Structure 1
């Protein structure tokens, strides 16, 4: 339970944040490893590989609002969200391990179908874990600033997980080698997901449970109401475009390391450079945001991220150290670009609940996570299109010298493309108006 000042116990903040171990592993590893697995291990053409990566995420776009609606109406002594954490989370881990466990079926089509099937199953389970998980902050605290503190713990753990999973997954693959390397990597990452699932389910057992009743009407009616929420719509558009940018960069890491920097081991260094600053600066972003406001903090963080991405355009000619520095600058901005929108989302959902007396938090977060999923899915797909346009040559486990056009495509897909997407997203963010005073007026309470 929260104390009189509105602060949640540290155990609840850390317990809630632990769920980011699961979301971080599933959000990072397929985006980093699945496209290279399909193009360089199974020999599938880049465009087809991009489609396989995209389709399960596109399915999630449809499923996430449904998952939110179902969790809104779940009746359980522990609240409407927590039961889904353990049920869906464990299913997610099992399906994830099987994505990279395709046996040698003797035909690329069958092997591609295996990956697609288990990726769809994993994405479905993820929807029923992620949507209730993201919905919880709007219900367990009514404090504008406490939601930022809650997101600080979550993003710090998320950053650590991205570094751990993103840096270790290529190392595990390369240490074992071949398909067996991908299988072992998949099992290890599935175990990491289990740790996050169980920790978040157990760690939130003492969290407050919201008492607002579920919204009436059909899912279509609920979605229509959410779509009319102006500030939520502006925030979502910004976040989706930035998720698309992040998806492009994640998909490009392995290609940038191996084909441009000519060092597969550089993928791990790139991830450390990306996440290391985020681990250190997430609390700094949060404290600064409390002084200047979440929207302004989000704008500045976005500009820093875009600047780092643009600097990486020199990857083909500059020393590797320049690329690593650019990636570190991206990491500085990325930390803020996670803290602020994740803290702004529950403001929008809770404001609606306070105004109407009905709980549409699950629908809000279902739409939000659907948008995020779409962006992260389109990112690798868009990067695959860039690869195809650059003449990238796929292979079945062997090393292939890529033409200069492919190296240029990799560099632009990792730098200029995501930077442009981030800068464009600010057109919508600048019109967002739900500040601390607006939230307080809507909820009928003083800001803590």
Structure 2
């Protein structure tokens, strides 16, 4: 953390963020979108239908690796604040993560099926935990940067809108391209390895330049040394003291759980409901193509109505679309791409708007407390987001286990019982709709508005003016 007086807790308002800055920041989402999408889409399926790992163990592996992030993210956030105070930049941790993540990502899918389910499960667990650690080293400082790049309410929306455009394009690229690369090899294990190598290189191409684009500032100091436990106490303190942060984080976590469950279930819907393993590509096209087109539209909605109202509209729209997908239980067919496309329209807003609201929360807290703890906030945020996405895979595997899903090895085709097919549809529709409903209740408790943020951005008046009373 960096301590500042209340008058300089927020920098003076700046003009429009330069296009070069927006591009340098946004390109990082090419890597974060890839890592956030591809493991969630194929890793559980890789374990159950390639290595023969039982569904509940596969879900546990993915969840343990992601929940490890929940443990370390607040620590990394605090370390990021210390690095900023000491060096004037957050780029050091970001570069370490950017350069190591692709290596560990490739190792995650390099396990040969000959080692058997037990060794394969352990291999994936260790490699994916290392991958997740590298991701946190980049992602936590990356999330903290927008609060430092601009103080303007609408400029933060513009900055994060273009980041979400790149993020959405990355989700499309990895979500549709990953399974296609996997299918280029006749041997499933070789297909997964090819997919991992290409994806790892693209991830590195996004994370590395974004790390180098992290700003430097002139003021530096020597932050006070704190114990390991202090890092976590700072995270708890941030949650306790900022009501807007609690409301926004809770909303985003529940929605991460909903989308994480849908993401993990998509391959199962394609294979066992739509009867085509390749249909997962069409599902992704239906979801992400509208999201890519509508991300700038949500930015305009936010400028007209406020970010929080735009976010509420997007959330309601996604819940309605998810609930409509329930019809797959009775009538599987191509019609499902329509509600998935509607969900894609909403998904763009559900990504761009909360990410644009987070720097508002950070700046408001800095103004109110006189303490710069952007890294602490971003660490807790990333931990919550990671937990939601990780538990999505767990929710799916629990449903699969209770509904009688049958595992297989090396791409074998297995006829699933009707109960398992119904469970897959429930995980892809009803469960996300219920979670979105709960998130909307939390979002209504978010109280920051445009006037609050614009007031924060104005420099405090001089003390003699502020204390000046009416003329006698």
TM-score, structure 2 as length reference: 0.90
Over aligned residue pairs, what C-alpha RMSD do you find?
2.0
Deviation of the 1:249 alpha carbon: 0.5
Deviation of the 1:77 alpha carbon: 8.9
Distance 1:234 1:119 in 2: 30
Distance 2:235 2:218 in 1: 21
Q: 1:281 aligns with which of 294, 299, 304?
A: 294
User: In the alignment, what sits opposite 1:101?
Assistant: 110
Q: 2:121 aligns with which of 97, 107, 112?
A: 112
Is 433-442 or 321-330 further displaced after alignment? 433-442
1:154-208 Cα deviation digits (max 9, x unpaired):
0000000000000011111122141111111111110110110123134x26x46
Cα pair 1:289 1:297 within 8 Å, conserved: yes
Cα pair 2:152 2:457 within 8 Å, conserved: no
Matched, 1:219 2:231: yes
User: In the alignment, what sits opposite 1:291?
Assistant: 304
Distance 1:369 1:247, change over 3 A: same
Secondary structure, aligned partner of 1:269: helix
1:75-102 Cα deviation digits (max 9, x unpaired):
5897432222222111111100110001
Count of residues paired in the alignment: 443
5 Å-filtered alignment, 1:209-248, equals 209=217, 218-228=230-240, 229-248=242-261
Cα pair 1:140 1:209 within 8 Å, conserved: no
Distance 2:172 2:149 in 1: 28
User: In the alignment, what sits opposite 1:259?
Assistant: 272
Distance 2:12 2:59 in 1: 49
Cα pair 1:19 1:200 within 8 Å, conserved: yes
Secondary structure, aligned partner of 2:310: helix
Distance 1:323 1:213, change over 3 A: farther
1:92-132 Cα deviation digits (max 9, x unpaired):
11100110001345332111100000000001111111000
Secondary structure, aligned partner of 1:107: helix
Distance 1:375 1:389, change over 3 A: same
Distance 1:76 1:199 in 2: 22
Distance 1:264 1:214, change over 3 A: farther
5 Å-filtered alignment, 1:39-438, equals 39-75=48-84, 79-176=88-185, 177-202=187-212, 204=213, 207=215, 209=217, 218-228=230-240, 229-318=242-331, 320-397=333-410, 398-438=412-452
Distance 1:137 1:212 in 2: 19
Cα pair 2:144 2:375 within 8 Å, conserved: yes
Cα pair 2:26 2:210 within 8 Å, conserved: yes
Distance 1:381 1:215 in 2: 39
TM-score, structure 1 as length reference: 0.95
Cα pair 1:73 1:80 within 8 Å, conserved: no
Distance 1:210 1:384 in 2: 50
Q: Where do 5+ consecutive residues of structure 2 fail to align?
A: 1-10, 461-472
Secondary structure, aligned partner of 2:275: coil
Cα pair 2:367 2:456 within 8 Å, conserved: yes
Cα pair 2:13 2:457 within 8 Å, conserved: no
Deviation of the 1:142 alpha carbon: 0.9
